[in-house]
């Protein structure tokens, strides 16, 4: 690889054009676009940067360093597990422990209210996101089948599908028996060496540790894609910079971002515009702590988390379930099931799993302990799993608030109250029946269910109406015209797919809209 120029450093007292808060799937694409447009831009990232080949072990416990560990409080009928499930820290953000699942939404996902009369439509038509989805897939080197069986016609994936593991093969066989169509899933790890914009990434080796960090730099996480291109274009990424507040000028606009630096000193970065991309929990938390951008009263409300029930089973064959890309096989035949009785739909995916995570879920989620747990774990190499990822309707009482408890930084802990509604419960029951049928038809047995909801969506939602939403279709605050929010918190509906590539596309669009308006 050619030597990169030394990274840009802006002086503390210098005012920059833009500050981006968070170096993950929301912030990194914006950072890149703004720097490439010639703006002076600083990214404040709470975590550190990593050198995967030196720092990443094929070991789950060691890799817990990729998870956001400041304590969050989970409430409601279906408390959300944070930590390893839902939030990352470090340059790359949650994309560091992303499964690499790279499924696009379908156009009707963005029109849920028009189609079903519930939830919200996105204020952006699919056609406007599509070119950005194309760009993201090219940049990440997504491996997938061409043609792809579901959704509108689309560009070919840059790489052919990754190999299917045991869980995918069993799901494929079971689904075929039932007449459910399946396909190798699109995943953001190239199946052969890949170069984009001078960034070279090796082929995925099927190690299966996507959720613990890719040690070879194959996975298209933000740290090996958007971030190096942003640095090359002159952006600065300031590590271990934890944002604590905002300074405002007399006209109410933001004039500086306050943060604690890597040595614990209070710092202040003056700027022309702020892009808050701290993730589905930290972005609404920042706004609530600062008392900003909430004339709608919607900050923190409508927190959504995909229906994501997992069903596990055993097979006689040797599987080695951690191997291969975790989400190897997909079906979107359940995108709008005919016998649904609920709004929206879901996808079904095969899943790989690492041993500590699996044991933990079987203990916490199934309640196995003693001989039942240990004898089952001796069968670990024969375990397969599948899960759903489905729509979740917004509800104002599913809500992030600030608790009275302070965390290690002396800031109020966020409290997230979440309960599945009738729609989520009906969808999960539908998915559970289908997954059980698929597994049994595939010859698997001893089914175990681990209920869960996944992803952190919606608590700063975008919309056309400033009384009903926090940001507009350009992800700009209705209240403060130099404040943008762009991460999973702005999703007005959950979509029936995993959120990451849509987020990256939305961030590219947000940057373009901002640049066009300058």
Partner 1 sequence: MRDGRTRAFEPVPILEARTRALLSSEALTAPTRAALQARLDRRFEPGKLLSSAQRRTLQAACLRLIPEPELVARIDLAGAFEAELAEGSGRGWRYAEALSDVALHRAGLDALDAVTQAQHSSAFADLDSERQDAILRAACAGEAPMDVAPEHWFEELLTAVTEIYYAHPLVQVAIGYDGMADAHGMQAVSLAEVAAQADSLGR
Ranges within 206-245 binding partner 1 (CB under 8 A): 206-209, 215
Per CB under 8 A, which of residues 440..459 are in contact with partner 1? 445-446
79 binds partner 1 (CB under 8 A): yes
375 binds partner 1 (CB under 8 A): yes
Total residues in contact with partner 1, by rule CB under 8 A = 73
Q: Closest distance between partner 1 and the C-beta of residue 440, in Å?
A: 13
The dihedral formed by the CA atoms of 281, 284, 290 and 293, expressed in degrees to the nearest 10: 170
Per CB under 8 A, which of residues 290..349 are in contact with partner 1? 314, 316-320, 322-324
> By C-alpha distance, which of 64, 84, 67, 57 is closest to 207?
57
| Piece in contact with partner 1 (CB under 8 A), picked from 17-25, 363-371, 463-471, 510-518 | 363-371
The answer to whether 70 and 56 are in contact (CB under 8 A) is no
Q: Which of 75, 258, 402, 411 binds partner 1 (CB under 8 A)?
A: 75
The answer to whether 42 and 10 are in contact (CB under 8 A) is yes
Binding mask 85-124 for partner 1 (x = CB under 8 A): --x-------------------------------------
First and final CA of the chain: distance in angstroms? Answer: 35
The answer to whether 281 and 87 are in contact (CB under 8 A) is yes
Q: Which of 33, 72, 399, 509 binds partner 1 (CB under 8 A)?
A: 72
Per CB under 8 A, which of residues 401..420 are in contact with partner 1? 403, 415, 417
| Piece in contact with partner 1 (CB under 8 A), picked from 29-37, 142-150, 353-361, 465-473 | 353-361
Q: Closest distance between partner 1 and the C-beta of residue 10, in Å?
A: 32
Three-class SS state of 137 = helix
Per CB under 8 A, which of residues 23..62 are in contact with partner 1? 53-62
360 binds partner 1 (CB under 8 A): yes
Q: Closest distance between partner 1 and the C-beta of residue 188, in Å?
A: 17
The answer to whether 393 and 423 are in contact (CB under 8 A) is yes
Q: Closest distance between partner 1 and the C-beta of residue 439, in Å?
A: 14
Three-class SS state of 404 = strand
| Piece in contact with partner 1 (CB under 8 A), picked from 373-381, 390-398, 488-496, 498-506 | 373-381
| Piece in contact with partner 1 (CB under 8 A), picked from 12-20, 70-78, 301-309, 506-514 | 70-78
* CA distance linking residue 127 with residue 125, whole number of Å: 5
Buried residues in 87-106 as b, exposed as e (16+ CB within 10 A): bbbbbbbbbbbbbbbbbbbb
266 binds partner 1 (CB under 8 A): no
Three-class SS state of 11 = coil
In sequence order, the 6+-apart residues with CB closer than 8 A to the CB of 506 are: 124, 129, 132, 475, 486, 490
Copy the structure tokens of residue 268. Answer: 């202040």
* CA distance linking residue 256 with residue 274, whole number of Å: 9
Residue 210 vs 508, nearer CB to partner 1: 210
Q: What separation in angstroms does the CA of 489 have from each of 386, 416, 470, 485? A: 27, 13, 10, 8
Q: Which of 99, 106, 165, 221 binds partner 1 (CB under 8 A)?
A: 165
Sign of CA dihedral 444, 447, 448, 454: positive
253 binds partner 1 (CB under 8 A): no
Q: Which of 380, 478, 491, 514 binds partner 1 (CB under 8 A)?
A: 380
The answer to whether 469 and 492 are in contact (CB under 8 A) is yes
69 binds partner 1 (CB under 8 A): yes
Instruction: For the chain, give the longest Cα–Cα distance.
Output: 70
Residue 382 vs 430, nearer CB to partner 1: 382
172 binds partner 1 (CB under 8 A): no
Per CB under 8 A, which of residues 128..157 are in contact with partner 1? none
Copy the structure tokens of residue 256. Answer: 């500086």
Q: Closest distance between partner 1 and the C-beta of residue 72, in Å?
A: 5
């Amino acid at each position: 690889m050619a030597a990169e120029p030394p990274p840009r450093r802006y002086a503390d007292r210098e005012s920059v054009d833009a500050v981006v808060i968070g170096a993950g799937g929301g912030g990194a694409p914006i950072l890149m676009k703004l720097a490439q447009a010639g703006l002076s831009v600083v990214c404040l990232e709470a975590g550190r940067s990593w050198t995967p080949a030196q720092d990443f072990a094929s070991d789950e416990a060691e890799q817990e360093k990729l998870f956001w560990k400041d304590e969050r409080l989970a409430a409601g009928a279906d408390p959300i597990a944070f930590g390893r499930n839902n939030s990352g820290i470090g340059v790359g953000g949650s994309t560091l422990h992303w499964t690499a699942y790279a499924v696009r939404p379908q156009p009707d996902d963005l029109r849920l209210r028009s189609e079903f009369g519930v939830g919200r439509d996105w204020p952006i038509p699919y056609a406007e996101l599509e070119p950005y989805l194309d760009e993201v897939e090219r940049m990440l080197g997504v491996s997938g089948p061409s043609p792809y069986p579901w959704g509108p016609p689309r560009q070919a994936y840059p790489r052919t599908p990754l190999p299917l593991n045991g869980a995918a093969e069993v799901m494929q066989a079971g689904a075929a028996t039932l007449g459910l169509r399946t396909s190798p899933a699109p995943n953001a790890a190239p199946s052969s060496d890949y170069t984009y914009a001078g960034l070279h990434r090796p082929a995925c080796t099927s190690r299966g540790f996507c959720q613990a960090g890719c040690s070879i730099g194959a996975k298209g996480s933000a740290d090996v894609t958007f971030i190096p291109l942003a640095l090359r274009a002159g952006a600065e990424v300031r590590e271990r910079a934890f944002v604590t507040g905002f300074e405002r000028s007399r006209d109410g606009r933001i004039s500086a971002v306050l943060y604690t630096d890597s040595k614990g000193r209070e710092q202040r970065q003056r700027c022309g515009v702020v892009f808050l991309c701290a993730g589905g929990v930290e972005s609404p938390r920042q706004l609530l702590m600062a008392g900003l951008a909430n004339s709608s009263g919607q900050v923190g409300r409508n927190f959504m988390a995909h229906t994501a029930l997992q069903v596990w089973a055993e097979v006689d064959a040797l599987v080695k379930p951690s191997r291969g890309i975790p989400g190897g096989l997909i079906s979107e035949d359940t995108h709008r099931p005919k016998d649904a009785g609920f709004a929206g739909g879901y996808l079904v995916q095969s899943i790989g799993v690492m041993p500590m995570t699996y044991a933990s879920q079987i203990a916490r989620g199934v309640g196995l302990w003693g001989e039942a747990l240990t004898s089952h774990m001796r069968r670990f190499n024969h375990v397969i799993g599948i899960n759903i990822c489905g729509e979740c309707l917004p509800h104002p009482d599913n809500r992030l608030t600030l608790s009275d408890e302070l965390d290690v930084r002396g800031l109020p802990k966020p409290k997230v109250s979440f309960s599945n509604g009738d729609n989520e419960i009906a969808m999960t029951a539908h998915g559970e029946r289908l997954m059980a049928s698929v597994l049994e038809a595939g010859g698997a047995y001893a089914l175990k269910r681990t209920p869960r909801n996944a992803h952190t969506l919606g608590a700063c939602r975008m919309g056309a109406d400033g009384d009903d939403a926090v940001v507009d279709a350009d992800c700009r605050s209705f209240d403060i015209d130099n404040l943008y929010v762009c991460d999973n918190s702005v999703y007005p509906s959950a979509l029936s797919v995993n959120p990451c590539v849509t987020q990256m596309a939305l961030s590219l669009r947000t940057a373009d809209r901002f640049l066009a308006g300058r």
